[in-house]
């Protein structure tokens, strides 16, 4: 008998209970009177961050995204109207520097939570320029304008693929991390990046793909029988991202996601939950794909923070090693950066 989609829970598929997610009184107090600009607010993580913020009193927020359909869905969740009448929801393309300037000058945020990004490994391997324009220059636009306008806190959502990057996605996000770290080095101590893995059943995720394939009696495509990944619930990711903004130590914050989970085990759990079985086709590792993701780079040393579920690392060594690349980002030197990112295409998989 077929099971319900309601049986597909984080615990039943990933095999661990999500960690408690409650802001304590001091954290709520520290968030009071913040004016928070969220980019990528229509995405899985960004929308959950907005919902958490909207549930706290004394916080002003502006939810932005370049996709009006995603903002429409978010607006429905927030007020059941989705008429785009709310001043708290606005279109914004982070690649448009003038639009970023206008938005930040008008809203006057005290904090930016930057969730907008291109995140699909295969797509960016084929189109590295898009990774530069969004993940690198888009982030740089926000950082530069935030600094000019005196924004006190900035959280850049990164990925575990930025640790020892082997693909365009990972390298573009590492460049964004380095640009944020440059600001910390120059005195903006509350500017940081947070690094985590896959968000459970988020839009465009591998789990969404598996569910579609199993539900429609299609073969399940798996790149390697031993591949494994770190997973978080979307609630955990959003909660720890906001907490990350309250920690002023470390260039990068790395979230506790438990142990990595074999995708083979996830497929088995999904088939049990859905009451269906499909054949598995091993397609081979994709260009730049790893069997297991790293959380820290070789030159990064893990340090504890005030939050037990968040560790930090500093990027001083990588900043000094990449001073020329940082200058290219500052100058928006697309040609030079495209040449660097192109080296991360057609890599031998590991």
**Average pLDDT of every residue of the chain:** 93
- Token output for 306: 């005030």
Neighbours of 282 (CB within 10 A): 12
What's the pLDDT band for 6 if we cut at 50, 70, 90?
A: low
Residue with tokens 């399940």: 220
Round the CA-based radius of gyration of the chain to a whole number and report it. 20
131 and 118 Cβ atoms separated by less than 8 Å: yes
| Closest listed residue to residue 274, CA positions, set 16, 14, 9 | 9
What's the pLDDT band for 350 if we cut at 50, 70, 90?
A: very low
Query: Is 161 one of the catalytic residues?
Result: yes
The pLDDT of 113-120, averaged and rounded, is 97
Share of the chain above pLDDT 90, in %: 87
Residue with tokens 């806190």: 153
Distances (CA, A) of 332 to 144, 264, 319: 12, 42, 17
Q: Which residues contact 133 (CB under 8 A, 6 or more apart)?
A: 95, 334
Backbone angles phi, psi at 206, to 5 degrees: -65, -35
- Token output for 171: 């390298």
Give, to the nearest 10 degrees, the angle between helix 323-330 and helix 168-185.
90
For 247-281, b/e burial (b = at least 16 CB within 10 A) is beebbbbbbbbbebbebbebbebbbebbeeebebe
The pLDDT of 73-80, averaged and rounded, is 89
- Token output for 40: 């990528």
The pLDDT value given to residue 218: 97
Whether the pLDDT of residue 88 is over 50: the answer is: yes
* From 119, 153, 161, 173, the catalytic residue: 161
**Could you give the CA distance from residue 192 to residue 181 in angstroms, rounded to a whole number?**
7
Whether the pLDDT of residue 1 is over 80: the answer is: no
Task: State the pairing for strand pair 111-114/35-39.
Answer: parallel
The pLDDT value given to residue 201: 80
| Closest listed residue to residue 288, CA positions, set 117, 196, 168, 160 | 168
pLDDT digits 0-9 by tens, 30-52:
999 999 999 999 999 999 999 99
**What DSSP assignment string belongs to 9-67?**
-HHHHHSSPPPP----HHHHHHHTT-EEEEESTTSHHHHHHHHHHHTSTT-EEEEEES-
Distances (CA, A) of 93 to 193, 212, 298: 20, 30, 34
For 19-42, b/e burial (b = at least 16 CB within 10 A) is beeebeeeeeeebeebbbbbbbbb
Q: List the domain boundaries for the chain.
A: 24-198+233-257+297-342
Neighbours of 239 (CB within 10 A): 23
Whether the pLDDT of residue 83 is over 70: the answer is: no
pLDDT digits 0-9 by tens, 160-215:
999 999 999 999 999 999 999 999 999 999 999 999 999 998 888 899 999 999 99
**24-198+233-257+297-342 domain in CATH 3.40.50.720?**
yes
53 and 59 Cβ atoms separated by less than 8 Å: yes
């Amino acid at each position: 008998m077929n099971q319900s989609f309601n049986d597909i829970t984080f615990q039943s598929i990933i095999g661990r209970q999500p960690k408690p997610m409650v802001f304590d009184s001091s954290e709520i107090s520290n968030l009071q009177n913040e004016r928070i600009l969220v980019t990528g607010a229509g995405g899985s993580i960004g929308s959950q961050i907005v919902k958490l913020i909207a549930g706290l009193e004394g916080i002003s927020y502006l939810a932005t995204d370049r996709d009006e359909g995603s903002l429409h869905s978010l607006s429905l969740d927030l007020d059941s109207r989705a008429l785009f009448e709310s001043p708290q929801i606005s279109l914004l393309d982070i690649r448009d520097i003038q639009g970023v300037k206008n938005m930040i000058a008008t809203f006057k945020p005290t904090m930016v939570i930057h969730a907008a990004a291109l995140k699909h490994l295969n797509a960016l391997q084929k189109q590295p320029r898009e990774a530069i324009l969004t993940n690198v220059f888009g982030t740089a636009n926000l950082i530069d304008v935030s600094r000019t306008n005196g924004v006190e806190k900035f959280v850049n959502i990164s990925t575990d693929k930025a640790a020892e990057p082997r693909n365009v996605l990972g390298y573009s996000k590492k460049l964004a991390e380095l640009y944020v770290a440059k600001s910390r080095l120059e005195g903006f101590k509350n500017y940081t990046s947070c690094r985590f893995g896959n968000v459970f059943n988020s839009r465009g995720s591998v789990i969404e793909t598996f569910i579609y394939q199993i539900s429609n009696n299609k073969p399940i495509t798996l790149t390697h029988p031993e591949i494994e990944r770190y997973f978080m619930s979307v609630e955990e990711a959003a909660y720890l991202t906001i907490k990350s903004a309250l920690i002023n130590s470390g260039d990068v914050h790395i979230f506790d996601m438990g142990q990595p989970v074999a995708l083979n085990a996830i497929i088995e759990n999904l088939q049990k939950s859905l009451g269906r079985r499909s054949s598995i086709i091993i397609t081979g590792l994709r260009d730049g794909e790893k069997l297991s993701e790293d959380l820290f780079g070789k030159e990064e040393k893990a340090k504890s923070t005030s939050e037990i579920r968040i560790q930090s690392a500093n990027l001083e060594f990588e900043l000094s090693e990449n001073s020329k690349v940082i200058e290219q980002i500052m100058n928006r030197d697309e040609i030079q950066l495209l040449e660097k990112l192109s080296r991360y295409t057609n890599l031998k998989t590991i």
